[in-house]
Amino acid sequence: MEKLKDSLITLNKALKTLDSALKLIVVIKESSHNEQLVFACQDSIIQRFEYCYESFWKFFKLYLETVHMLETERVKSPKVFSECVPILNYAQNLKAKFLLKWQMHVTQLLICTA
């Protein structure tokens, strides 16, 4: 359970860094006309998004293995999601919250880069 807790902490930190980067790009776009700086921030946001996705997958995989004793080692991540999310009640709620948070971040990113 300690590994699961550590994984959740890592995921939360990753989401916070993505959130701060999204807030920062808004400020930079409003106050700076330096396109290179804006592009650098956009690249940073993409990298943070990818890191958040990976952190989420690692947490979710560990959760399935630890709490529900499911073997996920030989299964690719999309298959695990598609087979487990409908089965597990907690996963529906977790997925909905996760997707809503990502939707807000992506929408903010699209607004900033438009």
Per residue in 82-108, pLDDT (tens digit) is: 655 555 556 556 666 776 677 677 666
pLDDT (tens digit, 9 = 90+) per residue, 6-61? 998 998 999 999 889 888 888 888 887 788 888 888 888 889 988 988 898 888 88
As a whole number of angstroms, the distance between CA 20 and CA 71 comes to 35
* Residue 14: predicted pLDDT: 92
Domain residues of the chain, as ranges?
2-113
What's this model's pTM, rounded to 2 decimal places?
0.61
As a whole number of angstroms, the distance between CA 99 and CA 77 comes to 16
- Among 40, 30, 42, 37, residue whose Cα is nearest residue 105: 42
As a whole number of angstroms, the distance between CA 99 and CA 47 comes to 18
- Among 4, 8, 24, 3, residue whose Cα is nearest residue 105: 24
